[in-house]
Structure formats: structure tokens, C-alpha cells
Structure 1
């Protein structure tokens, strides 16, 4: 069973547009309608459907619930919104004002009884109940960006769950939102997963709450996971859902990337599959000239992206920051190598801060006060705010940074191979030296280097019996990402590994407390990896690389509370540092 979260969510959204009838019905395109979204559901629909897709399904206008809207008589309105008191108030006002002939209300999660009462009371009092045609719980509280990538679109969960000043009710509200999002993913995919997570912390708390919610759904009279609802998928193999706190591997959240899509996120701010680029005034041809073909248009877009990436690489020396961070994580670089780069004048203050954080995370134990003081002084001189650095040091001192330092057992255990950057990396930078600043036609010749996803080192072998360690390796550096190490142990059921033996097991299909390691033994072909507190394309790519090299290949669906660049995550670390009172 392929876990294609984007396709599944698109099918649900199209059903919503078709008044919750099968999308194959002819009425979908012949019935004109207005689509009303809120800010969150706009982000849900944007990666799934283009404007032409909406028109194809009869949507003549799509409007924002929060905005002032004019009456459109004799046309039905399809609402897709979150169930919040403010949204219910606006929907009630729309019904009272008679903006639309009939209203089909679709909510991203199950509507609490109190809000149903609020809506019913308002429309009954105004005598406009007849305008509310139907009300549906759709379980769409997540953003499907790619077939194997989703985000809950919940900002600053890392801050909310780690804030020392947070009240219990605030933490529970955040946990509840995350559980609702994960439950929506399960319902949309039509799966009841076996859940695993490290013991203690937010991951176990959320896993336990999700287990209870799934268990209640299975016992409900309207079982969302029954074969009559899901068809064949309900009886197929179950995936493994693994939940992790962001502190499990902080290095992956702040490290510089070197492959195409992670670079686009980190440098150009990829959001909802979109980026904003400044127009090139010196580009060839008249402004706004249309491409000769669709293929040429795509090439032009990627050429512009690659040109912007190369400019950032050269201006900020991102290759050097990437290499030094990788060396730190395999135990090769030391403080002097870090200080040399920090004092070279290369890189932005945020680049320097991220490297300094990697240094602390990769250090075996804690650096001395003298080393930390020297590091902080250089950072301040370079214009960086060291609050995040101090906060990470506190986490490290209190053993709250998980296993994300040097990965699977240190440099010696990982078979590190020293050496100069691989040819693909050197060639990319040499090529950039020669072509950057010239016409885009010249730049286009080298775009394949970035599009291919090559980096300084190629993954050498697969997992599952391929060599002594059974893992994947890099010809330049054989550092195995902690998340990949963990997923290999959990998906293959490797008894004797700390991950398999110690992680908590939840199985919503068994009575409470009856789940056991035997039940989670696997091996599993499909898994959902979810990062609580923010994920990124770099971490996802390391997982996909591992999964693709496995024999047989594994399918990994990666999700997070939100997708963050390294800079955005460091800003959250800084905010927590301030709330914690600095040191």
C-alpha cells in the first residue's frame, strides 16, 4: 500500500467541492459555487489545486472568510474552515445576512459540541436555519506538500512545548492541536498505525493522546476506519508511526544543506512549494517574454533558482560552512577549525551562529568555559546574538539534546574517511566562479548539477545486510543520521538495539496496555516519521536516501508540526533563551 498523502487529501478536497458526492459525478463541474476558506485552509488547498482545477469543479470565486464579502444570491457556498469560535461567529453572520442561497459547512476537524450549539443557537434565533444545508467533519487539518511530505502548519510548537513559563492548559492545547493534525492524517490515509516513540517528553504524551483518539474512533458507531468506509485499504498492512521530539536531533534543524531542495528552503525560503525571487533586470530578452514551451518555462524557473542559490553560496561561503559542520559531526574538526572560519569574514552572522551551535552539539560532553567564552566573543564581534547558543548549551548541560550529536556511535564507528570535497561539489563551485554574473543561457548549462541532488559524497551502499553495519555510507563521510539509524532499528525490528528495545509501543487496535514489542517487530515496509517542533527538507532527504537504499526499499512519509529553515529554527531557540532568562 503506497502512502500518498497528497493524492488522498486532494481526493477529499475535490469531494468537498462536489458537495460531498463522488468526484466522478457530472454535477461537480455543472454546479457553480463559491468556495469560502480561512487562512489555514487556504494553505491546505494551495499546494493541491490550481485555479484551473477549481474552475473545472465549478468554483467561480474563492473568498476569505475573514474578509468583507458581498451577497451572491442564488449560488451555493462551500465552506472549508477550522472550527473556531470566531469562524462560527462569521458563518452565523453570513447566514443571517443571506450572503448565499445555501451553505455547505466543512470543518478541518470534528466540531466540538459547544460550537455546534453556538451555530445552531445563532441561526435559529435569526430564523435562517434553512440556509445551512449540511455540516461535515472532514479531518483535513494538515498541509500535504508532496506525496510523502506533510506539515501540520502549526507555528512555534517547539517554543510552546519548551517554554518554562507556559501554563498546563497552554501545553495541553498545543498537544491537542498536534493530535488533531495526526489523527487527520491517519483518517485521510485510511490507516490505523502502530505507534512508537521515545519514553518521556512531548512525543510520548502526544502518542498516548493519539492512541486514545484512534481507539475511541475504532469503537465509535460511525467508525472512520471500517472497511465499509475505507474499502480495501482498511484490511491492508499497517504502517509504523514514529514520533520524535525536535531535541532528538537538533543538529539536523540548524545545519547547512548542500542538496537542491534543502538549499532552496534554507536560502530562498521555500514555503507551500513556493518561493519569491527578485526579477533579474539584466536577464536576456524583454521583460515578461513568454517561454517557447512549457519545458523551457520550467528550465527558466530552475535556472533562476540555481542562479540565486549560486549567488548565496559564493557570497556566504555556504560550502565551507557545510563542510565544517559535517567534519564536526564526524569528530574531524575542532574549535580551531571553527574559529578560523568564523574569523575569516565569510558568511552572515546567522551562518556563524548555526555553525557554533553545531560545534556545541557535536562536542563530546561540554566545551570548557574558556572555549565557550572565546566562541561567544567572536560571535558578538561578528554581530550575532548568542542567546540561542547559550540556550543550546543549557540543553546540552541538562542532557536534553537526545542522540543527535555525532549520530550512530561516533566517527570511528561510522567509518569516517577524510579527504577533499568530492568532485561534484568542487565542480559546482568552479563552475559558479566562471559563470555567475553571465547570461542565464550560460548558467542554464550547469543547472543539472544542482537538480541532480549531488553533493560532497555519494551514498555508497544500502541497508539490510549490506555490509558489517547494515547501514548506508558516504564515500567522503560515512555519518549516518541519527533519525535514519533509529528508523532502521524500528522498521526492521532489530532486537537488542536501544531504539527497538526501549521505545514505547502503542497499538490502538489492542486493549489498553496490551501492546508489546512482539506486535511492533515488523519488518515494516511503510512508515510515517513525524517531528514535533519543526522539520525540514534536509532531514527528510536523509531519510529518503536511507529508505531508497534499503533492500527492499522502504517507503517513508515525513511530516512535522511545521517546516523550518535553519535560521527560523535558531530564532525559536533564541526566543526560548530569552524566556528562560538567558543563561
Structure 2
């Protein structure tokens, strides 16, 4: 079997299919190596495709949405899918599958539904473990209502996480996790419960994968709290596994505070730019297209599935200019093949050979690329990306005066970027340099003065979710609010910096890697040459704006940590990080393992407490190869502006 067959997403899909089969394990769908399910091989009338109603709460809906479309649910016999909090009519001849969090409110609603006998039977599935006290309370309630006979089955599913792709997940219902963990008003009890929730979420991940991991994390702080709780939970809950297959992956638990640059800086790759510049959530992207000629703007909505969309799978991690070029080339090839076939058939509209959806998918990506390009051009995103990358990679380490001058020039230019673009650059400047705090304060004040006195001109260009909407010489109420929150975020980080509570510049700098084996200048020259040969089209229009997005790729902090742990390099994190094995009581002394043979890790799960991002996920795939599969997870996936908003709450 391929590594994808054992992936977290495929395993979660298998568990949900069992749940929708009323937990009948005698018939499961067949799965191809690319994760495509065959729904048509079950006898009619079996539990596999028996008519049923699916009732879920909002967190469980977020789990199912990226995995199963409406048509796929219908093929499994789900005729209706409804939120548990809504008013629902009785359908007494059909069973209901409940998929909810084990909360007192949900249990009361289920008991009420059963007492009204809305459905023929109920199959109750809790996304995580039902606490014993709540289970006893629920049992008493069902007996009092005289409806205990309504329950056909009850299961703890251990599925409390959201899978966006084969190697990408987040925990469910953990919004604003960085602000929650780092906020000053959080009580010890609330923090303890939050760490418990994260540990249970990771227990769901490991149970679904059917794996007992080696757990590594930095000592002290949230990662160690979660690691120790998880270690104990795995030892106490062997039944939580959906099918242990004997593998022993490496689970690395990291703290967001160890790298605050990655989630805030601008990116250069296709998928990360979609998440940054457009409205993107649960694999759905939305944006407004403003066509020329005075026609009305159109709201576009597309579902992106990297596991089923060949173009997206191949190019999501590539620099944006290369994705543009690939889209034009592939669309031209498909169109040429289509025209050749039609010429042979006398112009009849027979579908071309191959995938009939290929052209439709490529045209969808043309629209998305155009929307991203509009934002990139309107806000001069490449300039912010280029300067931030230079700061983060230490290019100004010995010339802080030049760094300050270039940052000041860009954040006070009214024609460049919007409020959040400028704040994000200022934050990278704060985190990636050793300039005195007074310099950061000065740049902040100059930026604010510039915004207040000149307003923003970017609003006159094509705008998206982060664009300004004011005019020259004015700052809208919305932008003023963003500026105030942004300055609070800068003040918070400046305070952490002064107390040495964030890593130094040397910790943020890694080795440079050049994509596709060429030098940055070679790549740029090659791209420019190809682009100038196209007299029209998006690639030709993009050349001037996005060419600086080609070049070197730098390993982020998480990538270097995970690589050191995988390769067991001495005098690195392998010596310093805690080593926990749920099958061994107590901590393991890593230095004693030096004299033992340790097999290389084939499966690696990297989990970030406090929020993750697409650029970090993408960067970690640098160390994945045919012998190592790297899965990335976090308490939540946040866009740069969402993370900026959380920082602004902490001043």
C-alpha cells in the first residue's frame, strides 16, 4: 500500500464511513491510492447505504465538510444532514446518526429527540470520549423519559480533528488558540483544561492512525504539558485506536512562540497566497471578480481538494509565477488536444479523451490565479515578501541601519500595501533584527503618521479581503481599527523581545535552498525569457510584479528541528528535547540511546501549539521524501491577518 493509503485523512475517512454504516464493519468501501472511494459496491438495503439522517453540531460539521461532499453523503444513504441546534421534524421510519461533542447541552437535546421519538432508532457517536459523570447523567435522563429503547448504539469515535489534506490537520473548535494560551487573564484551571483538550485531540489523531508514537518536545511550557498528558492518555486508552498497525511514528510537539515570523510574513507560493489574500476556509476559496466594461462584480466560490485536483496537488507548493506559467501551459495543451479530436470528428462536440474535468479544473485555477494576481499587483506584495525574506534570513544582520531605512521607506509609502501589509513587515523587522526598541517605536510612529496624513492609495486598485477602502488623505474606521490593533501587536512583541522571551536572530536563520537546482538569477532569467515570449495572458502581465517571488527557499525553525530529530543529530534538539514512549514508564535518556541502534522514522507528525499556517506546512515538506512521510498539524490553521488579530489582543 502507498503511504497515502495509511494517511491520517484516509484513516479518518474510514472511521467516518464505519460511523455512517451504523458501525457495521462487515462492509467498507474500496479506496484507491489517491483516496477516491467506490460507493457503488454494496448491496442495496445494507447498513452501508441504508437511508439515514445525519445530525451534527458545528465542530463535527467542520470535520466532515472537507472530507465528504453532499453527493458522497447521499451515496452513503444520508438523505438529510442537519445541525443538532435547529428545529427538526419527525421522520419516525428512518434511523438517525448523531455525530456531536459530548456536552451536557447536546445530551439533553438527544434525550429530548428520543423522548419525542423523532426517528426509528438513534446511533450516537461522540467525537471524543464521553465523561463518566455525563454518561451517568445521560443514562438517568433517558430512563426518566422512558426512551432508552431508542438507542441502537453509542460510540466514542476519537475523531476530534479536521483533515484538510492527506498530510494536513488541525484540531476542531480551537479558535484563537495563541491568544488563549498567551493571554494574561487565563486562569490556571482554564489553562489546564485547554491542555487536556489538546492532548485528547492528539489522542484522536494517534488513535485514528492506529499508532503509538515516540513523543519529542522542548522542556517546560505548553508542549511539555501536552506531551506528558498525551503520553499518559495513550497508555490508559489502548481502545482508542481504530486499528493499530504497529508503526511507531515520531510526534514532535512545538510551541508557536519559538517562531512568530513564519505565520505573519508574506509568502510566495500558490497555496499560501490563496490563504493569505483570498477568503479561504475548510478548502473553500471565495473572492469577488470585478470584470471590465462596467459589468457587475461576481462572487466566485470554489472547493479546492489537493488530493483529487491534479493541478493543485502538483503546483500548490510552487512559487506563484511558476503556478501561473503551468496553468497557461496545461490549459493550452488540453485545449489543443480537444481541438485536434474535434477536427478529426468533423467538429462534433464529443468529449476529448482523458479526464473530462481537466479543462474545467484548469479554468477554475485560472480564475483563482487571476484573483490572487489582482491582490498581489494592487498591494505590491512581492516587495513586502522580498524584504521580509531578507530580514528573516539574516541578510541585514550586520547592517541594521540599512534594514531600518528600507522598512521605513516601504511602510510610509502610501502606494504600497494596506495597513496589515505594513504592520506585518514591521513585526518581521521587530522579530528578525536586534535593533533597539527605540528604532521600532520610531518606525511605528512614522508609519502611523503616514497612514493618518496620506491615507492609502491601494484602495483605488482591485481589492480583496484585506484591501483598504478609504480614499487619499483619509483612513477609514475599519483601517483605523486595524492600525490600532496592529500597533498593539507590535507593542506586545516588543515587550516579549525586551524580556528575551522569543528566540534570537540566530535561531530564526536557516540554510538557504535553491528550488529546482538552479541559482536565483538563473531561475529569474529563465522565467522572464518564457514570459516575454507570451505577448498576452496572465503570465505576461505578471512578469513585472511577481518575478521577485522566485528564488531561494529557507528552512523554517520547525523544519530544522524536525529534521534534526529525524536524523538523530547529536548536540541538537535530539539531545535537548524530552523523549517519551507511552510503552515505557518514565522519561527516556536520549544520550543512553546513542549506543543503541535506532531505526529511522518513516512517519513524522509535527504539531504546533498556538496555531499553524500553510507556509509552515509547505516548508516541512522539504524534508519529506520516498522514505519519510511528514504530516503537519496545529491547534488551528490561521491566515497571517488572523494571526495578527490574535497578537493584537495581547498587548
CA-to-aligned-CA distance 1:176-213 (integer Å, 9 cap, x gap): 11111100000000001000001111011111110110
1:343 aligns with 2:353: no
Q: Which of 559, 562, 576 lines up with 1:502 in the alignment?
A: 576
Name the CA distance, whole Å, in 1 between partners of 2:544 and 2:128.
43
CA contact (8 A) 2:206 2:212 kept: yes
Name the CA distance, whole Å, in 2 between partners of 1:294 and 1:353.
41
1:328 maps to 391
CA contact (8 A) 1:194 1:240 kept: yes
**3-state SS in 2 of match to 1:134:** strand
CA-to-aligned-CA distance 1:375-399 (integer Å, 9 cap, x gap): 1102322252200001011111222
Of 265-274 and 23-32, deviating more is 23-32
1:267 maps to 277
Shift of residue 310 of structure 1? 0.5
Q: Which of 160, 168, 185 lines up with 2:188 in the alignment?
A: 168
Name the CA distance, whole Å, in 2 between partners of 1:152 and 1:262.
20
1:439 maps to none
2:424 maps to 354
Q: Which of 632, 635, 642 lines up with 1:558 in the alignment?
A: 632
Shift of residue 500 of structure 1? 1.2
CA-to-aligned-CA distance 1:100-122 (integer Å, 9 cap, x gap): 11100000111001211221111
Task: Identify if the C-alpha distance between structure 1 residues 29 and 325 changes in structure 2 by more than 3 Å, giving closer, same or farther.
Answer: same
TM-score (norm 2): 0.75
Task: Identify if the C-alpha distance between structure 1 residues 447 and 185 changes in structure 2 by more than 3 Å, giving closer, same or farther.
Answer: farther
CA contact (8 A) 1:79 1:105 kept: yes
Task: Identify if the C-alpha distance between structure 1 residues 434 and 263 changes in structure 2 by more than 3 Å, giving closer, same or farther.
Answer: farther
1:198 aligns with 2:218: yes
CA contact (8 A) 2:393 2:510 kept: no
Q: Which of 540, 544, 556 lines up with 1:481 in the alignment?
A: 556
CA contact (8 A) 2:408 2:447 kept: no
RMSD between aligned residues? 3.2
Name the CA distance, whole Å, in 2 between partners of 1:187 and 1:246.
24
1:465 maps to none
Name the CA distance, whole Å, in 2 between partners of 1:54 and 1:504.
43
Name the CA distance, whole Å, in 2 between partners of 1:266 and 1:427.
25
Q: Tell me the matched-pair count.
A: 528
How is 1:499-538 mapped onto 2 (pairs within 5 angstroms)? 499-514=573-588, 516-518=590-592, 521-538=598-615
Of 251-260 and 369-378, deviating more is 369-378
Q: Which of 618, 624, 627 lines up with 1:547 in the alignment?
A: 624
1:387 aligns with 2:467: no
TM-score (norm 1): 0.84
Q: Which of 1, 4, 21 lines up with 2:7 in the alignment?
A: 4
Task: Identify if the C-alpha distance between structure 1 residues 426 and 369 changes in structure 2 by more than 3 Å, giving closer, same or farther.
Answer: farther
**3-state SS in 2 of match to 1:256:** coil
Task: Identify if the C-alpha distance between structure 1 residues 404 and 85 changes in structure 2 by more than 3 Å, giving closer, same or farther.
Answer: farther
Q: Which of 214, 230, 239 lines up with 2:243 in the alignment?
A: 230
**3-state SS in 2 of match to 1:277:** strand
CA contact (8 A) 1:424 1:449 kept: no
Task: Identify if the C-alpha distance between structure 1 residues 279 and 418 changes in structure 2 by more than 3 Å, giving closer, same or farther.
Answer: closer
Name the CA distance, whole Å, in 2 between partners of 1:522 and 1:566.
37
CA contact (8 A) 2:412 2:447 kept: no
Q: Which of 519, 524, 545 lines up with 1:423 in the alignment?
A: 524
